[in-house]
Structure 1
Amino acid sequence: MSTVLSKIEHHVAYLSLNRPEKFNSFNREMALALQQELDKCMRDDDVRAVYLTGEGKAFCAGQDLAEAVDPNGPELRSIVHGHYNPIIERIRTIEKPVIAAVNGVAAGAGANIALACDIVVAKESASFIQAFSKIGLIPDSGGTFFLPRLIGFQKASALMMTGDKVSAEEAERLGMIYKFFADDAFEEESRKLVQNIAQMPTRALGYTKLALNQTFKNSLTQQLQTEEDYQHASGQTEDFGEGIAAFLEKRKAVFTGK
């Protein structure tokens, strides 16, 4: 059975990490499979949003340590360079919204892959753990980049050094995630969110994402120019024309992602 399950419904690509007996911890096979699925989402014009979750009780417990310590397996540098870095790059460069639906524990690389997504929602019973310090490693998968920007340097530093568990409720309070939902409402509410996003003007959302990527490095003047450029590009889309027509005609816009 595939280590990443995938299906497309109503313009949403549903991707599910599928090693539930290992709490969806990553091995090489699953890392490469997720890269391939994200590539397919990038190329497929029918896909207008991506929903990433996990099978079973966990979202993702990070790296499968059995592979990391296997003398015949990949070394740590190879795992980070070949497995995780390409996943983060794909999540941030695909010009479509990627929603992480955290259905259980998200630890180590699993937590940081979720935090790299555009929108993160979680079950009330889910938790986030920067587990690296507990085994003598540093946070990878973009953790040292995204977490300080989400919750501030001091809090991020403490969570990374202590390895403390963060509940979904606290993660929302800190600004680490967008929302948490009660366990019995999680699937319905998270799918409703991604389905609504998939009906939005996809190219404008993609340009929004690219502009947000650049704000981490740009000066104000540079970011204003970035906004100007992407606003011009958005104004050339069919969805802009539809949005204006719907506004003038006092009706709901029907966007096509073009």
Structure 2
Amino acid sequence: MTLDIRPYRSVLYIPASKERALEKARSLPIDAVIFDLEDAVAPEEKPAARATLAEALKTSYGGRARIVRINGLDTTWGEEDARAAAQMACDAILLPKVETVAQLDSLAQMTDKPLWAMMETPLAMLNAHQIASHPRLQGMVMGTNDLAKDLGSRFRADRLPMQTGLGLCVLAARACGKVIVDGVYNAFKDDDGLRAECAQGRDMGMDGKTLIHPAQVEIANAAFAPDAAEIDLARRQIEAFEQAQAQGQGVAVVDGKIVENLHVDTARKTLAKAEAIAALAG
């Protein structure tokens, strides 16, 4: 699957120090795993967590993307994390609190693996396009908890205080052809709240959502996947447009709405995403 087709609907954080959680992730219907060496691991456990994770990654996680989040390079553990992750059987390395291209450059010197960036500070929002433009960057992860802390904003279900930051990052990711995954929803027992926030992220253009609990997976997978109606419409748009072209016309009409090249392009991406999701499930 190419970068723009591989699904990232559900991206679950797993503490790198928890062998049981590392094993359980192999059986969950998730698109990607963030193996966390940073916030989820206590300082005294970090060296052992590196070894635990390296061993776990020797066994397949199927088609799930394997992303290792290291500690910041300005911390006691960051450089050792980076050098260890570079030797692990993972697909990418995620750097926390990225604010400048120079931080990604430093990590790029330590590994040949694709890089991901945590976007979680006001400065990161302002530098989003520069960060997304980095040639080694593959994806961006919104760190909405840290962003809210730095903004000094209050919690709102509509996330109005962080809409500017979220929007800047989506624009940057799309301009540079990078994956972008929304931040976590903390109330893991609040299905309705999660469903609403997933819908908001999907409507904004996010590729998926980071999750903190397996109970959130089903909702995220449904929210960020094309539903039956979208798939049906996509097929009918493509068919109608191809028929119009065969008749020498540049546009078609489906359900009373004009269908042009740009709509067909979106329709083809919808079908490709549905096929990729089916292949991952299979």
Which TM-score band (shorter chain)?
Answer: 0.3 to 0.5
Could you state the TM-score of these two structures normalised by the residue count of structure 2?
0.33
Could you state the TM-score of these two structures normalised by the residue count of structure 1?
0.36
